[in-house]
Amino acid sequence: MTSSKIEILAKAAECFMEQGFHATSIDDVARRLGSTKGRIYHHYASKTDLFFEVHREGMARLFAAVEPACAVDGDALTVLRAMLRAHARAMLDNHTFENVVAQGVQLHRFGLGPTTDPQRRTLSELIASRDAFEGLFKRQAAAARQAGLLAELDISIAVKTMLGALQWSLFWYRPEADRSPEARDVLAEQMVTTIIEGLRPRAMG
């Protein structure tokens, strides 16, 4: 992807995060870029197509962060913890893009408004990507439960709860308060420790 397109996506992500999909216009993004609308329309035919591309980039960044963690050394819970930590850090590092991913899930449920058939297919593909991402965690959580390292929980509910807890950081995290990579490392570790410790099996009294 060209640097020009990345810049457009980054500024569009800021606008969509701050104003939401429906309230954001191509004019808003152009103003944020300090450019004309023509620069955006050169790459994207509509606001919806621009939103989808931001969503796609957000998912790509999540996969790029989490997939390497799937291959770390250790038992099944160690791998799950590494995956969750990578996900948490990706959420913090790509705050605006992941806000758009979250919006995309909601818009899929409740409707974008008028869309073309190709746009509806694209949105379905993006949601399928999100489901595949969740599937990585379901498989690893199931392996950890099988090894006796997680409590006997419903895997689907447990994973949705884990990922939902991390996603909630989109609402309370303030990037300006944690500018350094080290600060984000500490925050990600604290978030994941809270989740994992709550899912460990408990000895019966």
CATH (domain of 72): 1.10.357.10
- CB 201, CB 148: distance < 8 Å: yes
Q: The whole model's pTM is what?
A: 0.86
Is 17 among the domain residues? no
Q: Is 5 exposed, middle or buried (0-12, 13-18, 19+ CB in 10 A)?
A: middle
The pLDDT assigned to 198 comes to 74
Give the C-alpha separation, 165 to 197, whole Å: 13
Domain range for 134 is: 58-199
Is 5 among the domain residues? no
H or E segment at 121? helix 117-146
The pLDDT assigned to 204 comes to 47
Is 41 among the domain residues? no
Cα 72 off chain centre by: 21
Q: Is 154 exposed, middle or buried (0-12, 13-18, 19+ CB in 10 A)?
A: exposed
For the chain, the residue count is 205
The pLDDT assigned to 203 comes to 56
Cα radius of gyration (the chain): 19
Give the mean pLDDT per block of 10 residues along the chain (205 residues).
91 96 96 95 94 96 98 96 96 94 84 76 90 97 94 91 89 76 87 81 57
Overall domain count for the chain: 1
The pLDDT assigned to 114 comes to 63
H or E segment at 109? helix 95-110
Is 71 among the domain residues? yes
